[in-house]
Chain A
Amino acid sequence: MKNVYLDHAATSPMHPRVIDRMMAVMKDEYGNPSSIHSYGRASRHVLDESRAMMARSIGALSNEIIFTSGGTESDNTALIGIARAYQHQGKHIITTEIEHHAVLHTCQFLEKSGFEVTYLPVNEEGLVSVEELRLALRDDTILVSIMFGNNEVGTIQPIQQIGELLQNHPAFFHTDAVQAYGLVKIDVNELHVDLLSVSAHKINGPKGIGFLYIRDGIKHQPHLYGGEQERKRRAGTESVPAIAGFAEAVTIAQSTIVEKNELYVSYKKVILDIFNDAGVDYIVNGSSESSLPHVLNISFPGTNVESMLVNLDLAGIAVSSGSACTAGSIDPSHVLVSMFDKDSERTKNSIRFSFGLNNSEQDVRQAAHETVKIINRLLK
């Protein structure tokens, strides 16, 4: 039986068109975009076109897009860059307990540097309360960072409501949209988002590239110094092939949002129908109303995640849980701990299926049937 990859939220395969585009740019556009000669201009053209494509995809302007090495650098740049540039106005930051570690660990770093961070809790569905955010805001709050769609359970936060709330407060609004981008329509002006992180490899683009949107006019202190690339906000020769591939991935992702949503939601149903038919005991983690279409996080009472993941892998099904942790062993996910409770069984028996490019309904069925087989064996 063939192997099935259902871990697209971890990373995704590159789209063939992305690879073709990158190959072409690697072969032909090798000039340094900062050079004055024809080779440099050709690369610069690729860079500018790509940047314009990224900007359009979120309703932004080209000069509001900074290319980075990916989601982690975008999050770090957003948080540290704003904190440093605006620390004279205040040293308070608000985020949530369910952010990606690229945000959480950056916040911990900032706490050590004298900033104060409020970590908002979430409810059982993984949703932040806008009211709690309102109460947490202080005069010295300079930044609010709340992720768009959660990578582990898929819950989509009320980004627009948060953006509107912050219209009446000087704090900037950053959202880590790494998992949501390409599956949810995003317009930074409608949502009133000031900074937004995106990564290419989650949307069938290459690894090692991403962007950070920073609304025009917001000051920001860089943390890479060198050449004048990215309008002095991020030094270093641009990875033009990766950026070109990223742009291609964005083009494809943006044009397929509707069909992907329909398809992945149908896959969720296929899996749950198979579990229902087999009489498997399960609980879906996350929000039933507001969720990323491609992420399905399920708790299986009586099982344990370490055994489930290994069994599924040995059966050729690649899925995951929270973050793989120290020395390969699996720590309870901080997201599930925040949603439920440290001692809840659901933090120890939940796994994540995530769909993407090349997954057929047949694949999804195979994964669900293997899961049923394993659960029946483990619980017998």
Chain B
Amino acid sequence: MNKAPKDTRVVVGMSGGVDSSVAALLLKKQGYDVVGIFMKNWDDTDENGVCTATDDYNDVIAVCNQIGIPYYAVNFEKQYWDKVFTYFLEEYKAGRTPNPDVMCNKEIKFKAFLEHAVSLGADYLATGHYAQVAYRDGEYKMLRGIDENKDQTYFLNQLTQSQLEKVMFPLGHIDKKEVREIAKEAGLATATKKDSTGICFIGERNFKDFLSNYLPAQPGNMETLDGKVMGKHEGLMYHTIGQRHGLGIGGSGEPWFAVGKDLKRNILYVGQGFENDVLYSDSLKAVNMSWVAEHAPAAEFSCTAKFRYRQTDSKVDVKVLENGDVEVIFAEPVRAITPGQAVVFYDGDVCLGGGTIDEVFKNNEKLTYVG
């Protein structure tokens, strides 16, 4: 597409946060025909009966008026419920730890929302993600954001060519600090707004309270892997492998960590010590693979991988199985690999794609206790 910026319509997905505000500002400064759109994915009202999305939308309005672009909202509550929230609950029911952000990017932001943008005559969809798109060797590559600490390619791992050709990430080449500075300098209403944390639909609320509205909590025993009962848990879904939070096991010695789950017996396995050997594994199998290039780099190849957001990369060997799933063998044992989370592959700064961690192995044996 070789249109002049002024003839190029870019729809910016605006959340009411500083990142998407600056993304819109930068595009406007570059002369694009920018349209800001707020997505409402979750129906929620606060104790006064006010929709919690209203404040964020008001920020979108303020920023768009400052920048001088039209703004609209679109409602994807139904799609979000069907595609993201249902998956989220199913994964918890299956004893895994889902990643709704990955699913939201795949099904909502870069699918339903992208389609909406195209229906509005948009040439591109832009978001405030910290990632980069580059056209090299006849295909679109997704690169990590320059700000290593903020890089969000982990959450974008399911994007492929058909999406990347229509996507812009205006913040990919700048760091967060600079984003704040640009916002302050432009006097944007969101310049000093706190970054949102946690899962979007839960917001600042207590995770346990939230989840218990949708899934019945089934209390059970906490046991060590050799069967010693250490106490009670309130529900397997409240615990993530490798975390010590909320176990409430006192006593002497090193702190206790969740090390695994037995869904059938409703047992939470616990072990002592952050470095506990049972938390370590040396390979995994991943499913739902998606490659940015729309095909794997090779049947077998070496690269680096992330098993959770903001983790440093690990060296791995990847073997693509006949059905498209992958086996990932780690150069060094890795702690607390969690089924349900994403494994994402990189070649240097290029994100190759990713999938969902399904099974975890050590010494060629499946660690049945992690799911």
User: Which positions in A face B, CB cutoff 8 Å?
Assistant: 306-307, 309-311, 313-314, 326-331, 377-378
Contacts and interface: CB of A to CB of B under 8 A. Distances in A.
A328 B70 CA distance: 13
A294 B140 CA distance: 51
B65 to A, nearest CB: 13
A306 B40 CA distance: 12
B51 A327 contact: yes
B116 A307 contact: yes
B16 to A, nearest CB: 9
B121 interface: yes
Given A326-B40, A326-B54, A328-B57, A313 B70 contact: yes
Interface stretch (B72-80, B186-194, B264-272, B282-290): B72-80
Contacts of B37: 310
Given A306-B116, A307-B116, A314-B35, A328 B72 contact: yes
Contacts of B119: 307, 311, 378
B51 A326 contact: yes
A327 B53 contact: yes
B73 A329 contact: yes
Contact of B38 (A309, A313, A327, A378): A327
A330 B119 CA distance: 17
B120 A314 contact: yes
Contacts of A309: 72
Interface of B is mostly: mixed
Most buried by B among A307, A310, A311, A330: A310
A330 B75 CA distance: 7
Contacts of B43: 326
Interface string B28-63: 000000010110100100000001011011001100
Contacts of B74: 306, 329
B236 to A, nearest CB: 35
26 contacts: A306-B75, A306-B116, A307-B120, A309-B72, A310-B72, A311-B119, A311-B121, A313-B70, A314-B35, A326-B40, A326-B51, A326-B54, A327-B40, A327-B57, A327-B73, A328-B40, A328-B57, A328-B61, A328-B71, A328-B72, A328-B73, A329-B40, A329-B75, A330-B75, A377-B121, A378-B119
A337 B213 CA distance: 29
Give the top 5 A-B pairs by smallest Cβ distance, nearest first.
A328-B73, A329-B75, A327-B53, A326-B51, A327-B57
B229 to A, nearest CB: 48
A64 to B, nearest CB: 36
Given A327-B38, A327-B51, A329-B74, A310 B57 contact: no
Contacts of B35: 310, 314
A313 B35 CA distance: 11
Contacts of B60: 328
A297 to B, nearest CB: 20
Nearest to B57: A327
B73 to A, nearest CB: 3
A326 B40 CA distance: 9
Contacts of B70: 313-314
Contacts of A311: 119-121
A347 to B, nearest CB: 13
Interface in B73-103: 73-75
Contacts of B61: 328
